[in-house]
Structure formats: structure tokens, C-alpha cells
Amino acid sequence: MSDAAIPLLDLGPAFAGEPGALEEAAARLRHICETVGFLFIANHGVPWSLVDATFDAAARFHAQPLEAKMAVKLDDAMQGYLPYKSSTTRANGLVAVRKPNENEAFFVNPERDPAQPANRWPEAMPDFREVTLRYFAALEALALRLLPVYARALDMPADYFTPLCDRSLSSLRLTHYPPVQYGSDEYGIAPHTDSSFFTLLAQNPVPGLQIRTQAGEWISAPVIPQTFVVNTGDVLNRWTNGRFLSTPHRAFNTMDAPRYAIPYFFHPNSETMIEALPTCVSEANPPRFPAQTVGEYMAWFRGQNYNHFRKGAAAAE
């Protein structure tokens, strides 16, 4: 397997419980995460009609007048609308010149706890909430089904991660990349790594995702219909003491039509402590990262990338 390729993992046998299939999938996943950090998954169990409905919901939301979108602007809980060019990638040193990202987005958090702030929903789109939350639930279910594969890939018990992720601090982002002419150091979203345990990105017909190989070459991800792209995030990179790669990636829209992306960022529970797994440390390879909770890490990450907008929005109220 070339490090310059993005492999495809067929989850059908493992999800069907075929003998030996979980260990086989785990072995392939281990190699991919140690050498590439990105993969496609097929036979994942998510109805593609729901994926299409969510892409349609994202397009309809972003087609609204700016005034309607700003009525549900991003709040301190990272829920709502982030206007065009309002985010700047700051949480890593991958770009020397930091310019605003050429996208707009709508953020959705889980709605499992009535005591937590509810998401902000557009009044003029009564079906938007229902479709979006169904998609969120389907992706959360897929993420939980993937956890035993990741656990076995790390030589941990298959159920190791499940209780640490059963009230996950996950989020869904409905992103619009309009067709633009990019100037120097301009991107749909600048080179970055994700903060997540892993990210699930549904494929759409408009390409635009690029990943940086271990050799430093940027390659374009092909569009494979009805698959998800999965990539390791910084939380899992830290949990594995750097063993599973959190690979830099970026996105553009070089087409004449709008491009939409609906990434789901899967995180463990807020209180889960991230410290190097016992199978990822040794006397010769001690822990590389300080132990901290997922909530602590995410507060830092969001502050780096979005606080400049949230502070400005609060001052305008």
C-alpha cells in the first residue's frame, strides 16, 4: 500500500459479524492509520438517501438571505451560522500567512440533554432540524460501530472506547464553498488537522479535498460514490502517543458550481481524559503529550480558530 494512496476499507464483513472479520478490519485500519491517516469506508450502513437529503438541506440553508442566516449566528456553545470568511485556521503551524477561509458554515451539536442549550434553527425551514438531526444520529451510530475496530487496531479490548464516547462532544458542520478565484495563500479551508477522535465526511460529486502525504506531497482525494472519507484527528493522535497520524488536509472549490461538505467530527465525552494508551508507550517511547480532558482540549482548539468571530459578534449585540 502506497503512502500516497487513500485506501478503501470495506466494513461489510466486520459489521455483519463474520468470523475473523473484526480482527482483519482492525489490522488494515492499524496500517492505514499508521501510514496515511485517511481512508474511505464502504458498506457503512448509512442510507445514502439521508446523505442526499442532508446535502440538500445544507444547500437550502446557505441559499437563504444573509439576514435570515445571521438570525441564528454562531453562539458561545459553537451552535449556529458562521458567516463567509469568518474563520481563520490558527491552531497549527501549517500555513505562514493566515487569511480567512473562503467558506460559510452552520454548526450543529447533539440534542440529547434537555439541560444543555438547544441548537439554533432557522425559522423559515421547518424540516431543516428534522433532517439534520436524523443525519447527526446516523453518523453518531456509525461512529460507535467503528469504535471496536479502532480499539482492536490498538490491541485494546473491543469495548474499550465505548463508555468513554457514549455522550460524545461531537459536532456536525454544514459548509458551503462558493466558486471563487483563489489568490495567494487563499483556501476554501486552509491546511489543518482536525481536533476530533476521527472525522466522517460523506462524498459528494464536487471534488475539493486534498491531503498531505508523509512525503509532503499534496494529493487530491478521488470521489468514490456512496462512501465516507474517514481521518484520524488530533484527539486520537494524542491518545495513541502519535502512533495514529492526524494528517494535514485542505479544501478548495475550483468548479463553477457551489461545493458543499457535511463533515461530522466525532469526539469522546467531554470529561474523558486523553493520555497515552498503554499499548502506545514503552520505556523507549514515553508519553509525548500532557494528559488533558477532551473538554479542555476542545476549549483551546475552538478558542484558537473561532474566538475572534464570537467576540466580534458579542460586541455587536
Q: Which helix (H) or strand (E) holds 12?
A: helix 12-15
Please compute the mean of the pLDDT values over residues 152-170 and round it to a whole number: 97
Inform me whether the pLDDT recorded for 102 exceeds 60.
yes
Inform me whether the pLDDT recorded for 272 exceeds 90.
yes
d(CA 229, CA 128): 24
d(CA 26, CA 6): 17
Buried b (16+ CB within 10 A) or exposed e, 226-243: ebbbbbbbbbbbbbbbeb
Greatest alpha-carbon pair distance for the chain in Å reads 59
pLDDT band (50, 70, 90) for residue 2 = very low
> Averaging pLDDT over each range in 18-32, 114-128, 169-183, 250-264, which range is the top one?
18-32
* All three cell numbers of 211: 491531503
Inform me whether the pLDDT recorded for 292 exceeds 80.
yes
Please compute the mean of the pLDDT values over residues 157-173 and round it to a whole number: 96
Please compute the mean of the pLDDT values over residues 164-168 and round it to a whole number: 95
pLDDT for position 3:
39
Inform me whether the pLDDT recorded for 201 exceeds 60.
yes
